[in-house]
Protein backbone atom coordinates (compact mmCIF):
# COMPACT_ATOMS: atom_id res chain seq x y z
CA UNK A 1 0.00 0.00 0.00
CA UNK A 2 1.18 3.49 -0.83
CA UNK A 3 2.60 5.06 2.30
CA UNK A 4 1.91 8.61 1.15
CA UNK A 5 -0.88 10.39 2.98
CA UNK A 6 -4.28 10.58 1.46
CA UNK A 7 -5.63 14.08 0.83
CA UNK A 8 -9.11 15.45 0.81
CA UNK A 9 -10.61 15.87 -2.62
CA UNK A 10 -13.70 17.78 -3.75
CA UNK A 11 -16.67 17.27 -1.45
CA UNK A 12 -14.48 15.85 1.30
CA UNK A 13 -13.77 12.59 -0.53
CA UNK A 14 -10.32 11.12 -0.03
CA UNK A 15 -8.09 10.77 -3.04
CA UNK A 16 -4.47 9.97 -3.72
CA UNK A 17 -2.03 12.84 -4.00
CA UNK A 18 -0.68 13.74 -7.42
CA UNK A 19 2.77 12.37 -8.28
CA UNK A 20 5.69 14.66 -7.86
CA UNK A 21 6.18 17.15 -10.65
CA UNK A 22 2.46 17.38 -11.50
CA UNK A 23 0.04 20.06 -10.46
CA UNK A 24 -3.65 20.14 -10.15
CA UNK A 25 -5.96 22.63 -11.81
CA UNK A 26 -4.98 26.21 -11.13
CA UNK A 27 -7.62 28.25 -9.36
CA UNK A 28 -7.73 31.94 -8.85
CA UNK A 29 -7.17 33.05 -5.24
CA UNK A 30 -10.45 34.86 -5.02
CA UNK A 31 -13.26 34.36 -7.45
CA UNK A 32 -16.28 36.65 -7.68
CA UNK A 33 -18.43 36.13 -4.61
CA UNK A 34 -15.51 35.64 -2.24
CA UNK A 35 -14.77 31.94 -2.94
CA UNK A 36 -11.74 30.51 -4.59
CA UNK A 37 -12.42 28.98 -7.97
CA UNK A 38 -11.92 29.47 -11.64
CA UNK A 39 -12.29 33.00 -12.89
CA UNK A 40 -14.92 33.59 -15.57
CA UNK A 41 -13.97 37.14 -16.44
CA UNK A 42 -13.70 38.31 -20.05
CA UNK A 43 -10.78 36.93 -22.04
CA UNK A 44 -8.28 39.42 -23.41
CA UNK A 45 -8.76 40.31 -27.07
CA UNK A 46 -6.39 38.78 -29.58
CA UNK A 47 -3.97 41.45 -30.74
CA UNK A 48 -4.14 40.52 -34.43
CA UNK A 49 -7.92 40.94 -34.66
CA UNK A 50 -8.08 44.63 -33.79
CA UNK A 51 -4.91 45.40 -35.75
CA UNK A 52 -6.17 43.89 -39.02
CA UNK A 53 -8.57 46.71 -40.04
CA UNK A 54 -5.92 49.30 -39.26
CA UNK A 55 -3.39 47.54 -41.45
CA UNK A 56 -5.84 47.26 -44.33
CA UNK A 57 -6.71 50.94 -43.97
CA UNK A 58 -3.00 51.75 -44.09
CA UNK A 59 -2.61 49.73 -47.30
CA UNK A 60 -5.68 51.45 -48.77
CA UNK A 61 -4.06 54.82 -48.10
CA UNK A 62 -0.88 53.61 -49.83
CA UNK A 63 -3.01 52.58 -52.84
CA UNK A 64 -4.59 56.05 -52.99
CA UNK A 65 -1.18 57.73 -52.88
CA UNK A 66 0.15 55.40 -55.60
CA UNK A 67 -2.94 56.10 -57.72
CA UNK A 68 -2.46 59.85 -57.41
CA UNK A 69 1.21 59.43 -58.31
CA UNK A 70 0.31 57.34 -61.37
CA UNK A 71 -2.29 59.78 -62.64
CA UNK A 72 -0.22 62.91 -62.02
CA UNK A 73 2.97 62.01 -63.91
CA UNK A 74 3.62 60.86 -67.45
CA UNK A 75 5.40 61.55 -70.72
CA UNK A 76 3.14 64.39 -71.87
CA UNK A 77 4.93 67.05 -69.83
CA UNK A 78 1.75 68.06 -68.03
CA UNK A 79 2.17 68.43 -64.29
CA UNK A 80 -0.33 67.48 -61.59
CA UNK A 81 -1.67 71.03 -61.37
CA UNK A 82 -2.36 71.20 -65.12
CA UNK A 83 -4.25 67.93 -65.06
CA UNK A 84 -6.44 68.72 -62.07
CA UNK A 85 -7.21 72.20 -63.42
CA UNK A 86 -8.34 70.52 -66.63
CA UNK A 87 -11.34 69.12 -64.78
CA UNK A 88 -12.76 72.61 -64.26
CA UNK A 89 -15.25 74.14 -66.67
CA UNK A 90 -12.65 76.34 -68.40
CA UNK A 91 -9.85 73.76 -68.30
CA UNK A 92 -7.63 72.76 -71.19
CA UNK A 93 -9.50 70.16 -73.31
CA UNK A 94 -6.22 68.48 -74.31
CA UNK A 95 -5.20 68.01 -70.69
CA UNK A 96 -8.70 66.78 -69.86
CA UNK A 97 -8.51 64.21 -72.64
CA UNK A 98 -5.09 63.01 -71.44
CA UNK A 99 -6.40 62.62 -67.91
CA UNK A 100 -9.73 60.96 -68.69
CA UNK A 101 -8.81 58.84 -71.71
CA UNK A 102 -5.20 57.88 -71.03
CA UNK A 103 -4.01 58.17 -67.46
CA UNK A 104 -7.12 57.30 -65.48
CA UNK A 105 -7.97 54.10 -67.40
CA UNK A 106 -4.32 53.06 -67.32
CA UNK A 107 -4.11 53.61 -63.57
CA UNK A 108 -7.37 51.69 -63.07
CA UNK A 109 -6.12 48.79 -65.21
CA UNK A 110 -2.78 48.71 -63.36
CA UNK A 111 -4.63 48.63 -60.04
CA UNK A 112 -6.86 45.73 -61.09
CA UNK A 113 -4.06 43.70 -62.71
CA UNK A 114 -1.73 44.20 -59.74
CA UNK A 115 -4.45 43.28 -57.28
CA UNK A 116 -5.40 40.19 -59.29
CA UNK A 117 -1.80 38.98 -59.49
CA UNK A 118 -1.15 39.62 -55.79
CA UNK A 119 -4.34 37.86 -54.70
CA UNK A 120 -3.92 34.92 -57.08
CA UNK A 121 -0.29 34.49 -56.01
CA UNK A 122 -1.32 34.31 -52.37
CA UNK A 123 -4.05 31.82 -53.32
CA UNK A 124 -1.69 29.52 -55.20
CA UNK A 125 0.79 29.59 -52.32
CA UNK A 126 -2.00 28.57 -49.94
CA UNK A 127 -3.39 25.94 -52.31
CA UNK A 128 -0.05 24.31 -53.09
CA UNK A 129 1.38 24.99 -49.61
CA UNK A 130 4.51 26.20 -51.34
CA UNK A 131 5.87 29.72 -50.73
CA UNK A 132 7.59 29.65 -54.14
CA UNK A 133 4.33 29.20 -56.04
CA UNK A 134 3.23 32.07 -58.27
CA UNK A 135 0.33 32.75 -60.67
CA UNK A 136 2.24 31.42 -63.69
CA UNK A 137 3.46 28.13 -62.22
CA UNK A 138 0.48 26.13 -63.53
CA UNK A 139 0.79 27.02 -67.21
CA UNK A 140 -1.98 29.63 -67.41
CA UNK A 141 0.35 32.35 -68.69
CA UNK A 142 1.79 29.94 -71.25
CA UNK A 143 -1.67 29.25 -72.63
CA UNK A 144 -2.42 32.98 -72.77
CA UNK A 145 0.85 33.61 -74.60
CA UNK A 146 0.05 30.89 -77.15
CA UNK A 147 -3.33 32.48 -77.85
CA UNK A 148 -1.90 35.99 -78.13
CA UNK A 149 1.05 34.99 -80.32
CA UNK A 150 -1.26 33.02 -82.61
CA UNK A 151 -3.41 36.13 -83.10
CA UNK A 152 -0.36 38.33 -83.77
CA UNK A 153 1.41 35.94 -86.15
CA UNK A 154 -1.75 35.21 -88.13
CA UNK A 155 -2.27 38.92 -88.78
CA UNK A 156 -5.77 38.95 -87.29
CA UNK A 157 -4.65 41.30 -84.53
CA UNK A 158 -3.79 44.00 -87.07
CA UNK A 159 -7.25 43.91 -88.62
CA UNK A 160 -9.19 43.35 -85.38
CA UNK A 161 -7.16 44.62 -82.39
CA UNK A 162 -9.72 43.37 -79.87
CA UNK A 163 -8.91 39.77 -80.84
CA UNK A 164 -5.54 39.95 -79.05
CA UNK A 165 -6.89 39.98 -75.47
CA UNK A 166 -9.67 37.60 -76.48
CA UNK A 167 -7.16 35.12 -77.91
CA UNK A 168 -5.00 35.43 -74.79
CA UNK A 169 -7.96 34.85 -72.49
CA UNK A 170 -9.19 31.82 -74.45
CA UNK A 171 -5.68 30.36 -74.46
CA UNK A 172 -5.41 30.83 -70.70
CA UNK A 173 -8.79 29.20 -70.08
CA UNK A 174 -7.82 26.29 -72.34
CA UNK A 175 -4.58 25.85 -70.39
CA UNK A 176 -6.47 25.95 -67.10
CA UNK A 177 -8.89 23.25 -68.29
CA UNK A 178 -6.07 21.12 -69.71
CA UNK A 179 -3.98 21.22 -66.52
CA UNK A 180 -7.01 20.42 -64.38
CA UNK A 181 -8.06 17.58 -66.69
CA UNK A 182 -4.61 15.96 -66.62
CA UNK A 183 -4.34 16.33 -62.85
CA UNK A 184 -7.77 14.80 -62.19
CA UNK A 185 -7.14 11.99 -64.65
CA UNK A 186 -3.85 11.17 -62.95
CA UNK A 187 -5.41 11.20 -59.46
CA UNK A 188 -9.09 10.23 -59.85
CA UNK A 189 -11.51 11.40 -57.19
CA UNK A 190 -9.18 13.96 -55.64
CA UNK A 191 -6.94 16.89 -56.53
CA UNK A 192 -3.36 16.02 -55.65
CA UNK A 193 -1.43 19.29 -55.54
CA UNK A 194 1.84 17.57 -56.44
CA UNK A 195 0.27 16.15 -59.59
CA UNK A 196 -1.24 19.58 -60.29
CA UNK A 197 2.19 21.24 -60.17
CA UNK A 198 3.76 18.60 -62.41
CA UNK A 199 0.88 18.91 -64.90
CA UNK A 200 1.32 22.67 -65.00
CA UNK A 201 5.08 22.44 -65.53
CA UNK A 202 4.76 19.88 -68.34
CA UNK A 203 1.97 21.71 -70.15
CA UNK A 204 3.77 25.02 -69.68
CA UNK A 205 6.86 23.54 -71.36
CA UNK A 206 4.69 22.38 -74.26
CA UNK A 207 3.22 25.87 -74.64
CA UNK A 208 6.69 27.41 -74.64
CA UNK A 209 7.65 25.10 -77.50
CA UNK A 210 4.53 26.18 -79.41
CA UNK A 211 5.43 29.85 -78.89
CA UNK A 212 8.96 29.32 -80.20
CA UNK A 213 7.58 27.47 -83.21
CA UNK A 214 5.20 30.31 -84.10
CA UNK A 215 7.84 33.00 -83.55
CA UNK A 216 10.28 31.15 -85.81
CA UNK A 217 7.92 31.52 -88.78
CA UNK A 218 6.70 35.05 -87.97
CA UNK A 219 7.76 38.17 -89.88
CA UNK A 220 9.85 40.82 -88.16
CA UNK A 221 6.96 43.11 -87.22
CA UNK A 222 4.84 40.28 -85.81
CA UNK A 223 7.86 38.96 -83.92
CA UNK A 224 8.46 42.34 -82.25
CA UNK A 225 4.78 42.78 -81.40
CA UNK A 226 4.58 39.33 -79.82
CA UNK A 227 7.76 39.83 -77.77
CA UNK A 228 6.57 43.23 -76.55
CA UNK A 229 3.23 41.75 -75.47
CA UNK A 230 4.92 38.89 -73.61
CA UNK A 231 7.07 41.36 -71.65
CA UNK A 232 3.89 42.86 -70.20
CA UNK A 233 2.67 46.40 -70.69
CA UNK A 234 -0.38 48.55 -70.00
CA UNK A 235 -0.13 50.90 -72.98
CA UNK A 236 -3.36 49.64 -74.54
CA UNK A 237 -5.53 50.45 -71.52
CA UNK A 238 -9.01 51.84 -72.09
CA UNK A 239 -12.21 51.98 -70.11
CA UNK A 240 -13.74 49.02 -71.96
CA UNK A 241 -10.94 46.57 -71.13
CA UNK A 242 -10.80 47.88 -67.57
CA UNK A 243 -14.52 47.36 -67.04
CA UNK A 244 -14.40 43.86 -68.54
CA UNK A 245 -11.49 42.94 -66.28
CA UNK A 246 -13.40 44.21 -63.24
CA UNK A 247 -16.44 42.10 -64.18
CA UNK A 248 -14.28 38.97 -64.26
CA UNK A 249 -12.31 39.76 -61.12
CA UNK A 250 -15.18 40.57 -58.75
CA UNK A 251 -16.75 37.06 -58.54
CA UNK A 252 -13.38 35.27 -58.67
CA UNK A 253 -11.91 37.52 -55.98
CA UNK A 254 -14.97 37.13 -53.77
CA UNK A 255 -14.73 33.34 -54.07
CA UNK A 256 -11.08 33.39 -53.02
CA UNK A 257 -11.66 35.73 -50.07
CA UNK A 258 -14.41 33.44 -48.79
CA UNK A 259 -11.83 30.64 -48.45
CA UNK A 260 -9.61 32.48 -45.95
CA UNK A 261 -10.60 30.33 -42.95
CA UNK A 262 -10.28 27.14 -45.01
CA UNK A 263 -6.78 28.16 -46.07
CA UNK A 264 -5.82 28.59 -42.42
CA UNK A 265 -6.99 25.05 -41.76
CA UNK A 266 -5.34 23.71 -44.90
CA UNK A 267 -2.00 25.13 -43.79
CA UNK A 268 -2.04 22.53 -40.97
CA UNK A 269 -2.32 19.69 -43.48
CA UNK A 270 -5.15 18.19 -45.50
CA UNK A 271 -6.05 15.53 -42.93
CA UNK A 272 -6.18 18.04 -40.10
CA UNK A 273 -8.27 20.42 -42.22
CA UNK A 274 -10.69 17.60 -43.04
CA UNK A 275 -11.15 16.62 -39.39
CA UNK A 276 -11.70 20.27 -38.48
CA UNK A 277 -14.61 20.50 -40.90
CA UNK A 278 -13.12 21.82 -44.15
CA UNK A 279 -14.25 20.29 -47.44
CA UNK A 280 -10.69 19.93 -48.71
CA UNK A 281 -11.38 18.87 -52.30
CA UNK A 282 -14.03 21.55 -52.81
CA UNK A 283 -11.72 24.21 -51.35
CA UNK A 284 -8.84 23.19 -53.62
CA UNK A 285 -11.01 23.08 -56.75
CA UNK A 286 -12.62 26.45 -56.01
CA UNK A 287 -9.26 28.06 -55.25
CA UNK A 288 -7.68 26.70 -58.43
CA UNK A 289 -10.52 27.79 -60.71
CA UNK A 290 -10.97 31.25 -59.17
CA UNK A 291 -7.24 32.07 -59.04
CA UNK A 292 -6.65 30.77 -62.57
CA UNK A 293 -9.55 32.88 -63.86
CA UNK A 294 -8.01 35.98 -62.28
CA UNK A 295 -4.64 35.21 -63.86
CA UNK A 296 -6.25 34.58 -67.25
CA UNK A 297 -8.08 37.92 -67.15
CA UNK A 298 -4.99 39.83 -65.95
CA UNK A 299 -2.67 38.31 -68.57
CA UNK A 300 -5.21 38.92 -71.34
CA UNK A 301 -5.42 42.59 -70.36
CA UNK A 302 -1.74 43.37 -69.73
CA UNK A 303 0.47 40.54 -70.95
CA UNK A 304 2.83 38.52 -68.78
CA UNK A 305 3.92 40.67 -65.82
CA UNK A 306 6.08 38.60 -63.52
CA UNK A 307 7.12 38.67 -59.86
CA UNK A 308 4.04 40.52 -58.58
CA UNK A 309 2.32 37.33 -57.47
CA UNK A 310 5.54 36.00 -55.94
CA UNK A 311 7.05 38.87 -53.98
CA UNK A 312 3.89 40.69 -52.84
CA UNK A 313 2.42 37.81 -50.76
CA UNK A 314 5.90 37.16 -49.34
CA UNK A 315 6.31 40.78 -48.29
CA UNK A 316 2.89 40.85 -46.64
CA UNK A 317 3.53 37.53 -44.90
CA UNK A 318 6.87 38.72 -43.54
CA UNK A 319 5.27 41.91 -42.23
CA UNK A 320 2.01 40.60 -40.77
CA UNK A 321 2.03 36.82 -40.46
CA UNK A 322 0.23 33.87 -42.01
CA UNK A 323 -3.42 34.50 -41.16
CA UNK A 324 -5.17 34.38 -44.54
CA UNK A 325 -8.01 36.56 -43.29
CA UNK A 326 -5.41 39.34 -43.34
CA UNK A 327 -3.07 37.93 -45.97
CA UNK A 328 -5.55 37.68 -48.86
CA UNK A 329 -6.98 41.24 -48.85
CA UNK A 330 -3.58 42.68 -47.96
CA UNK A 331 -1.99 40.90 -50.94
CA UNK A 332 -4.63 42.40 -53.22
CA UNK A 333 -4.01 45.94 -51.94
CA UNK A 334 -0.22 45.58 -51.90
CA UNK A 335 -0.23 44.17 -55.44
CA UNK A 336 -2.33 47.12 -56.55
CA UNK A 337 0.08 49.66 -55.07
CA UNK A 338 3.15 47.81 -56.36
CA UNK A 339 2.01 47.68 -59.98
CA UNK A 340 0.79 51.29 -59.94
CA UNK A 341 4.25 52.45 -58.90
CA UNK A 342 6.01 50.07 -61.32
CA UNK A 343 3.93 51.25 -64.27
CA UNK A 344 4.58 54.90 -63.42
CA UNK A 345 8.31 54.22 -63.28
CA UNK A 346 8.09 52.42 -66.63
CA UNK A 347 6.57 55.55 -68.19
CA UNK A 348 9.04 58.00 -66.66
CA UNK A 349 12.47 56.33 -66.91
CA UNK A 350 12.93 56.69 -70.69
CA UNK A 351 10.21 59.29 -71.42
CA UNK A 352 8.76 60.06 -73.92
CA UNK A 353 9.25 56.34 -74.69
CA UNK A 354 8.36 53.75 -72.07
CA UNK A 355 9.67 50.48 -70.75
CA UNK A 356 7.56 47.32 -70.59
CA UNK A 357 6.01 47.16 -67.14
CA UNK A 358 7.09 43.55 -66.76
CA UNK A 359 10.73 44.61 -67.07
CA UNK A 360 10.36 47.03 -64.15
CA UNK A 361 8.67 44.42 -61.93
CA UNK A 362 11.44 41.93 -62.75
CA UNK A 363 14.18 44.45 -61.95
CA UNK A 364 12.50 45.15 -58.61
CA UNK A 365 11.59 41.53 -57.93
CA UNK A 366 14.91 39.77 -58.50
CA UNK A 367 16.84 41.57 -55.70
CA UNK A 368 13.95 41.03 -53.31
CA UNK A 369 13.82 37.34 -54.11
CA UNK A 370 17.58 36.94 -53.69
CA UNK A 371 17.39 38.69 -50.31
CA UNK A 372 14.54 36.35 -49.34
CA UNK A 373 16.60 33.28 -50.22
CA UNK A 374 19.59 34.58 -48.26
CA UNK A 375 17.40 35.26 -45.25
CA UNK A 376 15.98 31.74 -45.44
CA UNK A 377 19.49 30.28 -45.72
CA UNK A 378 20.63 32.05 -42.56
CA UNK A 379 17.74 30.46 -40.68
Q: What is the DSSP string of 77-130?
A: ---HHHHHHTTSTTS-HHHHHIIIIIIHHHHHHHHHHHHHHHHHHHHHHHHHT-
CATH superfamily name and code, 107-368 = ABC transporter involved in vitamin B12 uptake, BtuC (1.10.3470.10)
Domain positions in the chain are: 107-368
Residue 104 has pLDDT above 60, yes or no: yes
Q: How far apart are CA 363 and CA 356, in angstroms?
A: 11
SS3 content of the chain, % helix, strand, coil (to 5): 70, 0, 30
Percent of the chain whose pLDDT exceeds 70: 83
| pLDDT grade for 146, boundaries at 50, 70 and 90 | very high
**214 touches 150 (CB < 8 A):** yes
Q: What is the mean pLDDT of residues 153-171?
A: 88
pLDDT tens for residues 200-239?
999 999 999 999 999 999 889 889 889 988 889 898 888 9
Identify which has the larger pLDDT, 61 or 225: 61
313 touches 331 (CB < 8 A): yes
Cβ neighbours for 197, distance < 8 A, ≥ 6 positions apart = 128, 130, 133, 137, 138
**Distance, C-alpha 331 to centroid of its chain:** 6
**Structure-model confidence comparison of residues 82 and 378, the more confident one:** 82
pTM of the full structure? 0.81
pLDDT of 377 reads: 55
Q: Mean pLDDT in the chain?
A: 82
The share of the chain scoring above pLDDT 90, in percent, equals 42
Amino acid sequence: MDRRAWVAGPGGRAQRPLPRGRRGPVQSPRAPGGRGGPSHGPLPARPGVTATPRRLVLLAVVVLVASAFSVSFGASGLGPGDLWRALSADGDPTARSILLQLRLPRAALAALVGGALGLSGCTFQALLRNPLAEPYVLGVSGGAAVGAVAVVVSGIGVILPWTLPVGAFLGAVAAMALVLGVARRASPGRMDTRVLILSGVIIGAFFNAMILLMLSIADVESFRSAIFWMMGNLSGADWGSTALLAVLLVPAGAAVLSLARAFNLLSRGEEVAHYLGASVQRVKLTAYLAASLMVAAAVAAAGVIGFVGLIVPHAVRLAWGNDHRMLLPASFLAGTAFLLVADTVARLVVAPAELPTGVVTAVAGVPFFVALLMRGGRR
